[in-house]
Amino acid sequence: MSLDYACCVGSIGYEGRSTFVPRVMHGRRVPLLLAAFAENRELAFDAGLTFATGANASVFEPHDAQASSYSNWLFARLLDATSDGHSRLCIDVSSMTRSRVAETLEVLEFIAAERGHVYCDFTYAPARYKPPPEETETLIETVGPVSSSFAGWSPRIEVPTVVLFGLGYEHERAVGVSEYLDALDAWAFVPTGEEASYERDVRARNSLLWDLLGDARFVPYVVADPRDSLLRIEGLATRLRPSSRLVLIPFGPKLFALLCMLVARRSQSEIAVWRATAGSGTEPHVVIPSGKIVTFATSVDEAGNWQTEDGLGQVPRSEARAALAALG
Amino acid sequence: MLETPSLEAWSGDEASRYRQRVDYSAVFIPTDRNWDRQLASIGAVVLTEQQRALVQDAIFTSHVLWSLVAAMEYRVARRADGTRPHRPVELSRDAEGDLARELAYAWRLELRISSLASVRMALRRRMLELQQLATKEQLLSAEGRGDRIADAPGIGLNYQDAAAVGIEYFNDLSEEPQGRWALMFDELEFAPERIREQLIASLRSTDARFLFKLSLAPHTTGTPLLGDLMGAMSGHDFITIPLFYGRKEEGFDFARRLADGLLARQEVAYDAEHFLGRRSLGAEPQNEERMPTNSGTVRRRLKALEKKDSTFAKYLAERDLTPDSLVRTTANERASELRKILPLVAVRNEFLRSADARGVRRVRALQSPTVYSGDVAVFAMLESNPRNLTGVLTRLVSADPTVPAPPARQVAEVRKVQNRFRALLSTVPTSDIPGRRTSTRGLLSVVDAIGEFMQQEVLLTEFSADPPGTFVLDSAIDDGLLESLGVALNAGAIVYVPEEGQEPVPNRLRGNKYRLSYLFSPRYGLPIRLGRERHLSGILATPSPSPPDQERLDLGVE
């Protein structure tokens, strides 16, 4: 398989999996653009930074007084990377924050406006199963649109707000946000297919929501099948849109957050995408990749229209295993 | 409920009377948090604050006018059965066309068809176009931006002036020159601050055709509370109708009628009193009628506590009372005493274990403490909130409509409401309180601090007929915490308790008395009653219970 990526965009974070896909790409001599975070620079962070240095990656350092914003940095680097006509990018969302995913999409749209068309293979490395943390009630520090361009806009304020959640380990956060928005109704997407224990744990962490909504409002989606998952989200959103103002709130896997943002974009930005994060209340914890890499191929044109594509195929297991071994 | 469609759909006993009483046309203008964030995001990237304000105001005006036109359309609509119970207007198609053209001219709209529906669509288009204008500016240079925005249709149109013109046209055509229109703005705390200020200033409007009904949370950052502002005087320029009840009894009439109506519609054979039960042990009886009638049962409860709780025994002895004498009494004073202590006896009986060998009392953690069942308790815990009442009753009826709802099930359903509410409160940050994990638990820390303090006073100190149950936001509370408590007030986590002669809605936060929502009563084992007041700063300064006493906390959790 030829992996002809102009570059790979990823993160350097406390999660071990943050550099998993970049390591695979580095093995193919794909240039790396890796963005560090200002907080939680512990656990696997230093090892990630060391890898980035050794791989000659271009690194965004928020602590750098000379640095402009992540968006400006990424835009400049991608403009450079695509200057020779290369228009296929690898974007690893595994350890991105939801805000970073949003910013990345916005930058990709600007690049497409410059270059005419950009192909983006998004990758996601599921984590090895771990039981949920013990903390229960935590302050939700930030609740609101994931960025201003994902606030959505519908002048039909007379129709009620309906929320579509993606669920994860966030304890009863979905219920809290639903109450915050005074949503008339809610649906919840539940990640399946990776690990039966994970599904069970997600249900237990959201038992209030389950009790409130009933089984019929829970839609399973397979993390490893993003194309089908996108269709499920978009299908439900299309059905609900005529009679409601939709807000998508993706907890759980970042891949689901990406899919929600793409659905929002494909709705001519009528649909909003929100986040509700605990911020400083959350302790960093060890996150090891399972070894799988999920790939989702898309493209965006100069008018900002997103489409699914066939892409370059999945990452061979041998390469994933080698990168996993390198992570130690 | 005041809008024409709602008044016409209402089929209750008093519907006809109210349709006659409502002698104005109501225009419902909603806002909500979602819309507030969307409005705030428009032009956030490149527009200046002033440019954003112009665009946002134009969108808001379009929204008001859209709602007005929708109300007009309903008044002229023809029903299939020919009946129109509330303020119908006969308007020929030509007259409607004239009206539409006049509105379009006044409001600078482009019409495709001369009809009110077309006017409404044009206003909807305007809201979209204004948002698109702001978005497009991200791709355009700053040069000329000010002019592009100033020239956009709808910019600079004031909602009240524009609405006044529209109303005048309509009133002329419908031959109601003095026809009144009520602009009902919902959840105004989510409207931009300057719009809120304009609306509140409208309360002194001299245009007799306008009524303003403003729904507003009691504490709104940046806007003076209603009692303070701009010389408007409560009772003269406006009337305040609180939708919360500091004293639980104030909401019971409404709650009962709502509950009875819901049960009747679901064809349940019981009214609320019988479906939920009259026996609400954990709540102070609101009158003599509600006192327990079975003296044997009351005597047993008093004796049970006297045996289990030596401080209660001491309380009785000091007053020369016994369970028998309390129950037998007909004297007003003693009856009043009994009424006051019954809910305290109930919760102490329910939650306290007998003292151990060292004389230490411990508290039981109960899944569904049934002292909190019964109509009075359920109404009070749900704060007579129609949405919560409807939700809980619907679920109880769904479980089994053929028998009265079992006490444990009632309490379990109320606890679910409580848990959802706590999930909502986890979205509210607060400033630091020593000894509390406010940085990670936000407002929940404050609520728990108050609840745990009251729990200590009610359950674990010497028996008192008047333990603390309310608190005052005193001067020692810092501004950051005060702001968070304002949010708590708006959310309903704390409830204002006005003293006699005070305004029903607080005109400031500090210095007033509040209580925790009764929704938290099962969680902390508190009786459903007001109690003596304490300064909040003193409550928060009380150390949090130490870990070995953890079982005293969270009495109603899973």
* Residues making up chain B, counted from first to last: 558
For chain B, the maximum distance between any two Cα atoms, rounded to a whole number of angstroms, is 91
Largest CA distance in chain A: 56
Pairing of β B25-29 and β B513-516: unpaired
Q: Which residue of B has its CA nearest to A268?
A: B132
Give the pLDDT confidence of A204-240 residue by residue, as tens digits. 999 989 988 988 999 999 999 999 999 999 999 999 9
Q: What is the pLDDT of residue A155?
A: 87
- The answer to whether the Cβ–Cβ distance between B441 and A137 falls below 8 Å is yes
A275 touches chain B (CB under 8 A): no
State both tokens at B442.
Answer: 């936000």
- Closest partner residue to B416 among A141, A173, A208, by Cβ? A208
pLDDT at B255: 96
Neighbours of B549 (CB within 10 A): 15
Q: Supply angle C-alpha B539, B540, B544, rounded to 5.
A: 100
pLDDT tens column, A136-155: 677 788 899 999 999 999 88
Integer Cα distance of A231 and B541 in angstroms: 54
A-chain CB neighbours of B425 within 8 Å are 176
Which single residue is written with the structure tokens 């979205």? Answer: B427
* Phi-psi group of B167: left, alpha or beta (phi > 0 → left; psi -120 to 50 → alpha; rest → beta): alpha
Asked if the C-beta of B5 comes within 8 angstroms of chain A's C-beta atoms, the answer is no
B302 contacts B327 by C-beta, under 8 angstroms: yes
Closest listed residue to residue A284, CA positions, set A14, A5, A12, A6: A14
Q: Report strand pairing: A117-124 vs A294-301.
A: antiparallel
Whole-angstrom distance, CA of residue B428 vs CA of residue B106: 44
The C-alpha angle A197, A201, A202, rounded to 5 degrees, equals 120
Q: Which residue from B minimizes the CA distance to A174?
A: B423
Of B45, B127, B440, the CB nearest to A139: B440
Residues of A in contact with B41 (CB under 8 A): 145, 148-149, 151
> Which of A69, A157, A164, A171 is the mutation pick for testing B, counting most B CBs within 10 A?
A157
* Minimum distance, in Å, between the CA of residue B40 and any CA atom of chain A: 8
This complex has an ipTM of 0.89
Helices B33-41 and A173-181: crossing angle, nearest 10°? 80
Give the CA distances from residue A137 to residues A200, B182, B215, B420, B448, in Å, rounded to whole numbers and listed in that order.
Answer: 19, 43, 31, 11, 12
A155-169: pLDDT as tens digits: 899 899 999 999 999
Question: Residue type for B121, please?
Answer: M
What does the block give as tokens for A251? Answer: 């907890």
Distance CA B27, CA B73 (A): 11
User: Counting Cβ atoms within 10 Å, is residue B379 exposed (0-12), middle (13-18) or buried (19+)?
Assistant: buried
B74: which chain A residues are within 8 Å (Cβ-Cβ)? none
Q: Find, among B218, B255, B287, the residue nearest to B502 by Cα.
A: B218
Q: How far apart are alpha carbons B114 and B127 in whole angstroms?
A: 20
Q: Which residues of chain A are within 8 Å of residue B414 when distances are taken between CB atoms?
A: none
pLDDT at A259 over 90: yes
Hey, is the C-beta of A283 within 8 angstroms of any chain B C-beta? Answer: no
Per residue in B164-187, is it b (16+ CB within 10 Å) or e — as a string?
bbbbbbbbebbeeeebbbbbbbeb
User: What confidence tens digit (pLDDT) does each residue in A270-318 have?
Assistant: 999 999 988 665 677 778 888 899 999 999 999 999 999 987 777 788 8
The stretches of B266-355 forming alpha helices (DSSP H) are: 272-276, 295-308, 310-318, 323-328, 332-351
Torsion B306-B312-B317-B321 (CA) sign? negative
> Which residue in A142, A165, A179, A184 has the most chain B C-beta atoms within 10 A of its own C-beta, making it the best mutation to test that interface?
A179
Torsion, CA B133, CA B137, CA B141, CA B143, rounded to 10? 50
Interval A17-43 mean pLDDT:
92
User: Quick one: pLDDT at residue A12?
Assistant: 95
Asked if B419 has any chain A CB less than 8 Å from its own CB, the reply is yes
Chain B: give the shortest CA distance to residue A271, in Å: 10
Using DSSP, state whether B91 is helix, strand or coil. Answer: coil
- pLDDT tens digits, B230-287: 455 656 667 788 888 999 999 999 999 999 999 999 999 999 999 999 878 888 777 7
Residues of chain B where predicted confidence (pLDDT) is lower than 50: 230, 547-554, 556-558
Q: Which residues of B touch A276 (CB under 8 A)?
A: 427
For the entire predicted model, the pTM comes to 0.90
Rounded Cα gap, residues B184 and B182, in angstroms: 6
Phi-psi map region of A116: left, alpha, beta (phi>0 left; psi -120 to 50 alpha): left
Which residue, among B486, B552, B518, B539, has the nearest Cα to B421 in the 3D structure? B518
Residues of chain B contacting A140 with CB distance shorter than 8 Å = 426-427, 442
Nearest CA in chain A to B416: A208
Tokens standing for residue A121: 């293979």
How many angstroms separate the CA atoms of A263 and A249, rounded? 12
pLDDT band for position A65 (cuts 50, 70, 90): low
Q: What is the model's pLDDT at position A286?
A: 78
Question: A151: which chain B residues are within 8 Å (Cβ-Cβ)?
Answer: 37-38, 40-42
Q: What is the pLDDT of residue B230?
A: 44
Find the residue in B nearest to A162 (Cα): B34
Bridge partner list, A32? A8
B442 contacts in chain A (CB < 8 Å)? 139-140
Contacts of B35 in chain A (CB under 8 A): 157, 245
Residues B22-61 as b or e (16 or more Cβ within 10 Å = b): beebbbbbbbbbbbbbbbbbbbeebbeeebbebbbbbbbb
- DSSP 3-state of B190: helix
Q: Which of B49, B45, B60 is nearest to B137 (CA)?
A: B45
Residue of A nearest to B490 (CA): A180
Q: How far apart, in Å, are the Cα atoms of B6 and each of B90, B259, B266?
A: 20, 19, 20
User: How would you classify the pairing of strands A294-301 and A306-308?
Assistant: antiparallel
d(CA A99, CA B176): 55
| Strand B468-472 versus strand B513-516 pairing type | antiparallel
Average pLDDT of chain A to the nearest whole number: 90
d(CA B431, CA B447): 13
